[in-house]
């Protein structure tokens, strides 16, 4: 248990007075003063220890303050803090090689985060295909830069609309609330076949890529049926459309594999990643392109660059972070503990009236909350909240369990180093909160 910080309230006030917090009305922000962390926990200025069931922004996969990643960052800082993007460096060679190995693709272009990765992926797809349009899904988030924000399907895109031209949106594989009113056993995968119809209407020759999250994260963790990706891949191949797999949130061990799409046995043309690439220890994103696309740029101009593309300290953090995944068997651990988590979540669905659905893959999981299991009325409206969702979040906060909730969704995404005991401890707090919600809805 850390000591309370003597100036914690002044520090919070100074943060609020002089800085802007993202995605917020500033007077409604209530930041926690974070002072440190270790493994699955972090500490606040009042001396509290929090169980991090959200891995911060679902990115700190190896947990807080992993010594191997810290060491690698320090060593790189001592050797060489910066090299411009046109220089060759040791760490650039190492990470490029590693990403080729784990994705099965060709070459990597480095960015500083996920939004920039998607921005560049869309640009590369346009340059390579000579086509303009990008198909994305409604329940998606691809970032907060102009292009990636427009590409996002969720309401976070609304403030920049009409945004960049050429984005066409389609429906999602959301089986619990199938947009076509079907059930997975008899739907014929209309979530794919309607995309084909849209491709026909838009003109196949105008569509550069379909960009999807490997497994949709912040829009309710939508785990697609097993044959979704093979069908989507076939559709892309039929029309010469690239498949861009945004693995920013679902990649790098979160689901127990390098990429979420590896569960489905397909290979995308472009993978974008960030978050779990460095576990957030340094800012880094990557666009990993197929051999065919890499080959194209052997003789064509790559029109894009960033001062910090290939930042050596970020790359060193990534190389060390990926080694931690392998050295500590964290993906096996994630798959094992994920199976246990899945059972626990199914049990909450059986026990609590407010749990409409649970979806999970590895340590990537969500509880979807409803007012009524039969009608599936959401516990909070789309893009809104409710007193019940507020109560649930307040309870978890009072227990110092840091959890991500949005609309009628509550995520369970602890760091991949979480132990079974820590998982049980956090889930116990979740169950208390679900019981409170059941009381509120009168069940
Ligand atoms: N893509 C996905 C799937 C994400 O979840 C996010 C962020 O949450 C992004 C892209 C944007 O990444 P960043 O915030 O690093 O720019």
Instruction: Note whether 350 and 316 are same-domain residues.
Output: no
- 374 vs 303: CA distance, rounded Å: 53
- CA nearest neighbour of 417 among 54, 61, 116: 61
Instruction: Supply the DSSP symbol for 373.
Output: T
CA of 91 to the centre of ligand 1 (A): 24
With beta carbons less than 8 A apart as the criterion, state whether 406 and 383 touch: no
The answer to the question of residue 408 being in a domain is yes
Final residue of a domain: which of 281, 310, 327?
327
Residue 438 neighbours by CB distance under 10 Å:
16
Compute the Cα dihedral for 115, 120, 123, 125 and give only its sign. negative
CA of 249 to the centre of ligand 1 (A): 7
Q: What is the pLDDT of residue 188?
A: 92
What CATH number is attached to the domain comprising 173? 3.40.640.10
The answer to the question of residue 224 being in a domain is yes
Query: In terms of residue numbers, what domain contains 174?
Result: 68-327
Q: Note the pLDDT tens digit of each residue in 181-200.
A: 999 998 999 999 999 999 99
Q: Which of 244, 261, 274 most suits a substitution to test ligand 1, by most atoms within 8 Å of the C-beta? A: 274
Average pLDDT over the chain reads: 97
Residue closest via CA to ligand 1's atom 7 equals: 143
The answer to the question of residue 2 being in a domain is no
Q: Which of 122, 142, 261 most suits a substitution to test ligand 1, by most atoms within 8 Å of the C-beta? A: 142
CA of 141 to the centre of ligand 1 (A): 7
Pairing of strands 41-44, 49-52: antiparallel
Instruction: Note whether 425 and 345 are same-domain residues.
Output: yes
Instruction: Note whether 160 and 261 are same-domain residues.
Output: yes
For ligand 1, which residues put their CB under 6 angstroms from it? 57, 113-115, 118, 141-143, 213, 217-218, 246, 248-249, 274
The answer to the question of residue 143 being in a domain is yes
Whether residue 158 is predicted with pLDDT greater than 90 in this model: the reply is yes
Whether residue 311 is predicted with pLDDT greater than 90 in this model: the reply is yes
Q: Note the pLDDT tens digit of each residue in 338-364.
A: 999 999 999 999 999 999 999 999 999
For a pLDDT cut of 90, what percent of the chain falls above it? 98
- 154 vs 66: CA distance, rounded Å: 34
- The residues that bridge with 43 in the sheet, in sequence order, are 36, 49
The answer to the question of residue 3 being in a domain is no
Instruction: Note whether 254 and 146 are same-domain residues.
Output: yes
The closest-lying atom of ligand 1 relative to the alpha carbon of residue 285 is: 15
Q: Exposed, middle or buried: residue 16 (CB in 10 Å: 0-12, 13-18, 19+)?
A: middle
Final residue of a domain: which of 272, 296, 327?
327
Q: And the tokens for 256?
A: 């127990």
Instruction: Note whether 274 and 169 are same-domain residues.
Output: yes
pTM beyond 0.95, yes or no: yes
The closest-lying atom of ligand 1 relative to the alpha carbon of residue 275 is: 15
Q: What is the pLDDT of residue 277?
A: 98
Q: Which of 141, 244, 413 most suits a substitution to test ligand 1, by most atoms within 8 Å of the C-beta? A: 141
The answer to the question of residue 109 being in a domain is yes
Q: Exposed, middle or buried: residue 226 (CB in 10 Å: 0-12, 13-18, 19+)?
A: exposed
Q: At 137, is the pLDDT very low, low, confident or very high (cuts 50, 70, 90)?
A: very high
Q: At 1, is the pLDDT very low, low, confident or very high (cuts 50, 70, 90)?
A: confident
Domain count along the chain: 2
Q: Note the pLDDT tens digit of each residue in 240-279.
A: 999 999 999 999 999 999 999 999 999 999 999 999 999 9
DSSP string across 183-230:
-TTTS--HHHHHHHHHHHHH-GGGEEEEEEESSB-TTT-BPPPTTHHH
What CATH number is attached to the domain comprising 413? 3.90.1150.10
Q: What is the pLDDT of residue 443?
A: 79
The answer to the question of residue 1 being in a domain is no
- 218 vs 285: CA distance, rounded Å: 18
Name, in order, each residue with C-beta under 8 angstroms of 351's C-beta and a sequence gap of 6 or more.
Answer: 431, 434
Q: Tell me, what's the ipTM?
A: 0.99
Final residue of a domain: which of 327, 350, 373?
327
Instruction: Note whether 166 and 236 are same-domain residues.
Output: yes
Q: Note the pLDDT tens digit of each residue in 75-119.
A: 999 999 999 999 999 999 999 999 999 999 999 999 999 999 999
Instruction: Note whether 342 and 319 are same-domain residues.
Output: no
The answer to the question of residue 49 being in a domain is yes
Instruction: Note whether 221 and 346 are same-domain residues.
Output: no
Relative orientation angle of helices 114-129 and 291-299, to the nearest 10 degrees: 70
Q: Which of 57, 115, 218 most suits a substitution to test ligand 1, by most atoms within 8 Å of the C-beta? A: 115
Instruction: Note whether 129 and 27 are same-domain residues.
Output: no
Instruction: Note whether 264 and 341 are same-domain residues.
Output: no
Q: And the tokens for 112?
A: 């500083």
Give per-residue burial for 42-51: e unless 16+ CB within 10 Å, then b: bbbbeeeebb
CA of 275 to the centre of ligand 1 (A): 8
For a pLDDT cut of 70, what percent of the chain falls above it? 100
Instruction: Note whether 100 and 196 are same-domain residues.
Output: yes
CA of 69 to the centre of ligand 1 (A): 22
Q: What is the pLDDT of residue 2?
A: 84
Instruction: Note whether 249 and 395 are same-domain residues.
Output: no
Does residue 342 sit in helix, strand or coil?
helix
């Amino acid at each position: 248990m850390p000591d309370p910080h003597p100036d914690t309230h002044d520090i919070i006030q100074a943060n609020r007075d002089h800085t802007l917090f993202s995605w917020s009305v500033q007077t409604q922000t209530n930041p926690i003063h974070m002072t440190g962390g270790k493994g699955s926990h972090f500490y606040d200025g009042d001396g509290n220890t929090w169980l991090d069931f959200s891995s911060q922004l679902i990115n700190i996969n190896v947990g807080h303050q992993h010594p191997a990643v810290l060491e690698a960052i320090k060593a790189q800082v001592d050797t060489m803090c910066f090299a411009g993007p046109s220089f060759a460096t040791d760490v650039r060679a190492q990470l490029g090689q590693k990403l080729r190995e784990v994705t099965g693709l060709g070459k990597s272009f480095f960015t500083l985060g996920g939004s920039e990765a998607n921005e560049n992926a869309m640009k590369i797809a346009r340059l390579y295909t000579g086509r303009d349009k990008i198909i994305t899904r409604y329940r998606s988030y691809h970032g907060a830069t102009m292009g990636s924000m427009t590409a996002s399907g969720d309401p976070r895109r609304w403030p920049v609309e009409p945004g960049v031209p050429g984005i066409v949106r389609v429906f999602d594989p959301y089986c619990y609330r199938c947009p076509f009113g079907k059930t997975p056993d008899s739907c014929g995968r209309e979530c794919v076949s309607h995309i084909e119809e849209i491709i026909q209407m838009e003109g196949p020759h105008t569509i550069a890529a379909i960009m999807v999250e490997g497994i949709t994260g912040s829009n309710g963790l939508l785990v697609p049926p097993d044959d979704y990706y093979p069908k989507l891949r076939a559709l892309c191949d039929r029309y010469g459309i690239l498949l861009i797999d945004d693995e920013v949130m679902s990649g790098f061990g979160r689901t127990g594999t390098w990429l979420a799409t590896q569960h489905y046995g397909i290979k995308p043309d472009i993978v974008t990643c960030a978050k779990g690439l460095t576990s957030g220890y340094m800012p880094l994103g990557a666009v990993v392109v197929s051999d065919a696309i890499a080959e194209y740029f052997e003789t064509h101009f790559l029109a894009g660059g960033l001062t910090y593309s290939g930042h050596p300290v970020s790359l060193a953090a990534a190389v060390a972070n990926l080694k931690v995944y392998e050295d500590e068997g964290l993906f096996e651990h994630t798959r094992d503990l994920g199976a246990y988590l899945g059972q626990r979540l199914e049990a909450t669905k059986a026990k609590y009236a407010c749990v409409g659905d649970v979806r999970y893959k590895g340590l990537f999981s969500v509880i979807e909350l409803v007012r009524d299991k039969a009608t599936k009325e959401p516990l909070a409206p789309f893009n809104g909240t409710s007193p019940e969702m507020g109560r649930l979040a307040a309870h978890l906060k009072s227990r110092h369990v840091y959890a991500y909730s949005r609309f009628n969704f509550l995520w369970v995404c602890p760091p991949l180093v979480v132990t079974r005991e820590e998982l049980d401890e956090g889930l116990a707090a979740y169950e208390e909160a679900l019981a409170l919600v059941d009381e509120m809805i009168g069940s």
